[in-house]
Amino acid sequence: MDWQRTAEASPARAVPDLPPAIAPNRAPATGAWREGDPVGDRRFVSVGDVPLESGETLPGVRIAYESWGELSPARDNAVLVLHALTGDSHVRGPAGPRHPTGGWWPGVVGPGLAIDTDRWFVVAPNVLGGCQGTTGPASLAPDLVEWGPRFPFLTIRDQVAAQLAFARELGIERFAAVIGGSMGAMHVLEWAITAPQAVERIAVLAAPAATSADQIAHNAVQLEAVRADAAFRGGAYYDAPDGDGPSRGLALARRLAMLNYRTAGELDERFARSWQSGLDPLGGGGRFAVESYLDFHGNRFTRRFDANSYLVLTEAMNSHDVGRGRGGVAAALARIEAASLVLGIDSDRYFPLTGQREIAALMPHSVHGPDPVVVSSEYGHDAFLIEDDAVGEALRTLLAA
C-alpha cells in the first residue's frame, strides 16, 4: 500500500513533469538498503534461524528497526508498530541520504500525539522479506551472494514468527499494544492469535481476516508486471552486466497498486482531464496530468524498493487467512484476548469495509463494540495514513483502555 502520504496528497498542480533523472531505464537495479549504505536511524538485531511454515528454515535472520521513547523499568510500555507492504521502520523522521523518504506516520507517532512517545516506547521493525535492512531477497545469503530468486516463500505467520523472535531479543515479553495497517494489520491479527499472552491491546486498521480472491487477482497482475520485465532475469538482476534491473515492471506494478489505494472520486477531483503540458492533447506530445502522476510515483518507487521483495511480500499477503488450520475465521478470532480496535475506511476499494465488519463482529474484546470504527475519507485505502485526526482519536481510545 501507499505510504508516501504527503507528496501523494498534494494537489494536481504540484505534480511535476517526470524528470529524466528518474526515468525507468536509469533507475538502479534495486532500491534496497545494502551492506555498506549509510545506516541512518536503523538499528539491527540478529534473531538466528527462523523456521518457516513451508518446512524450510531461513538462516541467520537480521531485523532492522527504529525506536522512539524510553522503555520503562517494568518493560510494560512498549508499543509495536507494524508497517504496510511498501513501508519500513522509518515511521518518523526526515528523508535524506540514509532514508529515501520521510517517516510514514509522523502525525500519529511522536511526542504528544496519539501514540505518544513521551509515554510509550515505540518499536517499528522492517518486515522479514523487506528491503530496508531486514533479511530479504536483496540480502546476502550464507554463500555471500544475494538471495534473489532463492529466497523462500513466506507467509504472514512466518513474518510474525520473526517478529516474536525479535521481541525476545529486545527482552519484551508483552506489548502494551500492537498496531498496524493493511499488511501490518494482518501481522497484528496473527500476533493476537499466535501469542495472546504477549499482547495487551491491538489495533487492526484497514485489513481483512483473509485475503479475498478479488484482492489476490489484483495482486497477481502486479506480480506479473514485475516478472514480465526482461530485466527481471528470473530474479537474478543484482549484478546484471548493464546494471539494469526490472524498474519498468516494478514501476508498472506500483501504478496498478495505486489505483487500488486511492479512489476514483479523488483522482477525478484532483486531475479531471487536465493536461500536463501546454501542448494540445489532440495533437500529441503531452500527457494527461493523472498519467504523469502515476508515472512520477511509480518510477520514484523503484529508487527505494526491491522487485524481489515486492514479490515476496505481496505473496505473503496473498497467504493471509487467520482461519487457516484453526477451524475458520470465527474460531481463530475467538482466541484473541487483547482489547481490540478495528478501523476501516468507507471509500477503501482495496480492503473494503466488509472485511473490517467481519472482524469487529467476531472480536471478543472490542473497545468499540461489534462494529468497526469507520473513517469517512476521499483517500480510500491510504486514509489510515492520511486522516491523522480520525485515526489518532481511535488509537487514543484504545491506548486508554
Please enumerate, by residue number, every residue annotated as part of a binding site: 254, 382
Task: Please report the DSSP string for 59-120 in residue order.
Answer: EEEEEEEEEES---TTS--EEEEE--TT--S--SS--BTTBSS--S-TTTEETTSSEETTT-
CB 138 within 8 Å of CB 309: yes
Convert 34-63 into a string of H (helix), E (strand) and C (coil). CCCCCCCCCEEEEEEEEECCCCCEEEEEEE
Residue 381 falls in the annotated catalytic set: yes
Q: 128: how many CB neighbours lie within 10 A of its CB?
A: 27
Cα 392 from Cα 400, distance rounded (Å): 12
Cα 384 from Cα 269, distance rounded (Å): 20
Residue 321 falls in the annotated catalytic set: no
| Contact residues for 41 (Cβ-Cβ < 8 A; gap 6+) | 66, 89, 90, 93, 98, 99
CB 187 within 8 Å of CB 160: yes
| Catalytic one of 67, 321, 348, 377 | 348
Query: Which residue carries 525507468 as its cell?
Result: 24
Q: What residue numbers does the annotated binding site for substrate cover?
A: 254, 382
Cα 84 from Cα 322, distance rounded (Å): 17
Cα 280 from Cα 141, distance rounded (Å): 53
Residue 348 falls in the annotated catalytic set: yes
Radius of gyration of the chain (CA): 20
Q: Among candidates 26, 121, 25, 107, which has minimal Cα distance to 73? A: 121
| Catalytic one of 182, 319, 340, 366 | 182
Instruction: Report the Cα 107 to chain-centroid distance in Å.
Output: 17
What are the angstrom distances between the C-alpha of 151 and each of 52, 135, 138, 167, 193?
Answer: 12, 10, 9, 23, 27
CB 374 within 8 Å of CB 342: no
* Residues with active-site annotation: 182, 348, 381
